[in-house]
Amino acid sequence: MKFAYEDLHHKQFEELVVLICRKLFGISVQNFSDGADGGRDSRFSGTAENYPSKASPWNGKTVIQAKHTNGYNKSFSDTDFFSKESESCVVAGEIPKIKNLKSKSELDFYIIFSNRRLTANAEEIIRKEISQKTELPDSSIGLIGIETIESYLKSFPEIASQVKLDPVDSPLIISPNDLSEVIEYIKANIDLSKEAVDKAPTPRTPYEKKNEINKMTTDYAKDQRKRFLKYTDQVRKFLSAPENIEIMNKYSAVAEEFNLKILSKRKDHQSFDEVMEYIFDLLVNRDELLRGNKRLTRIVLFYMYWNCDVGLNDETT
């Protein structure tokens, strides 16, 4: 069965990886946690039960990485994940972390999971690059792509239900198409390079109250307000102009779709910071125009929240 892995929250993907690894290595595989270097990894120490095989298992300290992407049809070969010429790709960012852990005897084996396609040729090239740069033996490096993840889910079908993987009801599945058109029109009619007027529409629910209801953290809320509040009046005037009624209708449809998905899918423990960042990442990864207008995309998302078009309000609590 196929699942919409790109629509998962990164924490849900991490949970999926941990459960798979407990089948491959053992029950003592740790949950993902923040490391000293700011990264997030999971760990296992001991003899693996099934990886890479029962006959020849890894035995030692294994560091597990989960690299989730919201992008469609992504590959390990994409330059954002691996490029010998890039210092900003995912693999390049992992090299110094591996070297540091290895130097402190905190790593004997390294395995990375991603919801990307992985060809045999790409696996060989990437493993060799990591091995050469870290002096970790090639046989001590594992790369797990979407094809292998799906084979594990066939072998361990209970995992899908444990992480609430549902091919029909995946969380926060939203389309960037209409928002992309709205952004395109706003971009053509609002000059963000000019000094903005610090004036904004009065929210139906006070900002501080709305943040409390939605579990948006104080620091995130303050930063959003400081950066984007000054532009909301320009957005409001553009959308409310009679000649822009079609764009306003598109905006309203987008906001309604986002809000229904947010209210029905978000987990109670998530802060609204996570919801906003998840939606932003998903949108810019799926639409070229939004990717080229990240700041304006954030402005419109903030406007939706500030204007009480998304999230819980006094009327919906």
- 8 Å CB contact between 44 and 62: yes
pLDDT for 114 equals 96
Q: Is the pLDDT of residue 268 over 80?
A: no
For domain 5-162, give its CATH number from 3.30.2000, 3.40.630, 3.40.1350, 2.60.40: 3.40.1350
Residue ranges per structural domain of the chain: 5-162, 177-316
Cα separation, 117 vs 264, in Å, equals 30
Q: For 62, left (φ over 0), alpha (ψ -120 to 50), or beta? A: beta
The overall average pLDDT reported for the chain is 86
**One-letter amino acid of 89:** C
Q: What is the pLDDT of residues 125-168, one digit of tens each?
A: 999 999 999 999 999 999 999 999 999 998 998 998 888 775 53
* pLDDT mean over 183-195: 80
Q: What is the pLDDT of residues 25-49, one digit of tens each?
A: 999 999 998 765 556 899 999 999 9
Q: What is the pLDDT of residues 300-311, one digit of tens each?
A: 999 999 999 998
Sheet containing strand 40-47, edge to edge, reads 33-34, 40-47, 59-67, 109-114, 141-144
**H, E, C per residue of 148-175:** HHHHHHHHCCHHHHHCCCCCCCCCCCCC
Structure-block tokens of residue 232: 């909301």
Local confidence band at 175 (pLDDT 50, 70, 90 cut-offs): low
pLDDT for 166 equals 58
Structure-block tokens of residue 249: 């209708």
Instruction: Residue 178: count other Cβ atoms within 10 Å of its Cβ.
Output: 18
Q: Name which residue leads in pLDDT, 2 or 269.
A: 2
pTM of the model: 0.60
